[in-house]
């Protein structure tokens, strides 16, 4: 017995097998942010192993059901009276990397080329963990200041519209963009006023640490308010989220939310070292129930298949290596964006191998 074990260890050390490959372990649940827009796509998503999928309309809903995938009816993003406010430096960079200064009449391809070049130059991580500061979000519209939606009236209205239109058989709803454009907080008048009140009530000093806790707790409160409202209206619905953009003071705070399926980034669009992927996977799955016993932590992997994009690039071999890292760290569920990449030639085969039936 001991000899067998020793031989096994030698084989692993020699790189003959990773444990995941050896015991043929696969993912058992697979969430896709890509929508099944055609019959062909839907069949491929299902063959790649997708079990839970975002849909935006009735046609996509029907395709998901036909191919045995659970449909999540639309994606809710925060509502607020105005866009979040960042520091002047962050605003300036935000305008630059989103091409706000460029001539509106410029051809789209030319515009995109400039934007990609600027984002690469400024090392933009597209809302993922920053590698330089500042690193504001790459999103033309930005994110609403949800903290200023004080009576929740704007968000509730938007959310109810989604919930009311959901067809029978809907598995749940996706949530996205609940976070800060600058990874730290929003500095609009309303938020600054609320923060000052918080310090006064809690008898706290204005320190970075206290600011971080304030903004983190506003995030969690907002998530849970949205989730509680969904549960009240549709107790049968599940809530699947991707914690995004990154909250720098506490990257993996998602387990504080009441989401049923809490997708947290373990592998970003820009390639992370294997030990970081494994460490994050262990935390996302192992600490999923720290605050809410029914929550499930889902490892999220970002994937761009365009070598010319400023959003990073992974080959099918890179993806395979990352999937094996997640499996070897105990991850058995997966969430992918951008969804369409799952069914592209070369990538499709990798997903089918590790996620397909
Ligand atoms: Zn604000």
Q: What total of structural domains would you count in the chain? A: 1
- pLDDT at res. 23: 63
Query: How far is the centre of ligand 1, averaged over its atoms, from the C-alpha of 18 (Å)?
Result: 47
197: in domain: yes
- pLDDT at res. 150: 86
CA torsion sign for 100, 90, 271, 350 is negative
- pLDDT at res. 139: 85
pTM of the model: 0.93
Which residue reads 């298949």 in tokens?
Answer: 305
Give the number of other CB atoms < 10 A from CB of residue 123.
12
11: in domain: no
- pLDDT at res. 131: 97
- pLDDT at res. 59: 98
- pLDDT at res. 16: 47
- pLDDT at res. 157: 98
Query: How far is the centre of ligand 1, averaged over its atoms, from the C-alpha of 212 (Å)?
Result: 14
76: in domain: yes
- pLDDT at res. 11: 43
Query: How far is the centre of ligand 1, averaged over its atoms, from the C-alpha of 233 (Å)?
Result: 27
7: in domain: no
Spatial CB neighbours of 7, under 8 Å, sequence gap ≥ 6: none
pLDDT averaged per 10 residues in sequence order, the chain, 357 residues: 45 46 83 96 98 98 98 97 97 97 95 96 98 93 95 97 98 98 98 98 98 98 98 98 98 98 98 98 98 98 96 97 98 95 98 96
C-alpha span between 66 and 64 (Å, rounded)? 6
- pLDDT at res. 22: 57
- pLDDT at res. 46: 98
Query: How far is the centre of ligand 1, averaged over its atoms, from the C-alpha of 85 (Å)?
Result: 6
- pLDDT at res. 140: 79
- pLDDT at res. 298: 98
Query: How far is the centre of ligand 1, averaged over its atoms, from the C-alpha of 72 (Å)?
Result: 29
12: in domain: no
14: in domain: no
Q: Report the CATH number at residue 302.
A: 3.20.20.80
149: in domain: yes
- pLDDT at res. 9: 44
Query: How far is the centre of ligand 1, averaged over its atoms, from the C-alpha of 138 (Å)?
Result: 18
Q: Of all helices (H) and strands (E), which one includes residue 240?
A: strand 238-242
Q: Which domain holds residue 77?
A: 19-355
């Amino acid at each position: 017995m001991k000899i067998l074990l020793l031989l096994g260890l030698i084989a692993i050390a020699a790189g003959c097998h990773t444990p995941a490959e050896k015991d043929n372990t696969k993912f058992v649940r697979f969430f896709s942010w890509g929508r099944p827009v055609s019959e062909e796509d839907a069949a491929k998503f299902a063959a790649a192993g997708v079990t839970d999928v975002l849909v935006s309309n009735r046609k996509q809903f029907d395709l998901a059901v036909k191919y045995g995938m659970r449909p999540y009816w639309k994606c809710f993003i925060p509502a607020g009276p105005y866009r979040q406010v960042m520091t002047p430096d962050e605003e300036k960079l935000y305008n630059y990397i989103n091409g706000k200064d460029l001539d509106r009449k410029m051809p789209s391809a030319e515009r995109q080329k400039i934007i990609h070049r600027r984002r690469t130059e400024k090392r933009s991580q597209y809302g993922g963990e920053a590698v330089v500061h500042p690193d504001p979000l790459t999103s033309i519209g930005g994110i609403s200041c949800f903290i200023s939606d004080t009576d929740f009236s704007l968000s509730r209205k938007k959310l109810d519209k989604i919930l009311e239109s959901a067809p029978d058989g809907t598995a749940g709803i996706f949530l996205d963009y609940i976070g800060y454009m600058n990874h730290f907080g929003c500095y609009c008048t309303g938020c600054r006023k609320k923060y000052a009140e918080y310090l006064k009530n809690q008898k706290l000093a204005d320190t970075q640490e206290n600011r971080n806790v304030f903004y983190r707790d506003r995030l969690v409160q907002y998530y849970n308010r949205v989730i509680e409202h969904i549960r009240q209206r549709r107790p049968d619905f599940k809530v699947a989220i991707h914690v995004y953009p990154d909250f720098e003071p506490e990257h993996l705070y998602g387990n504080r939310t009441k989401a049923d399926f809490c997708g947290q980034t373990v592998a970003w669009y820009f390639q992370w070292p294997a030990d970081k992927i494994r460490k994050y996977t262990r935390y996302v799955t192992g600490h999923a129930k720290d605050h809410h016993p029914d929550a499930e932590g889902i490892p999220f992997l970002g994937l761009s298949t365009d070598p010319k994009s400023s959003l990073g690039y992974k080959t099918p071999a890179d993806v395979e290596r990352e999937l094996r890292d997640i499996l070897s760290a105990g991850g058995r569920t997966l969430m992918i964006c951008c969804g369409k990449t799952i069914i592209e030639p070369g990538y499709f085969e990798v997903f089918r191998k590790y996620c397909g039936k």
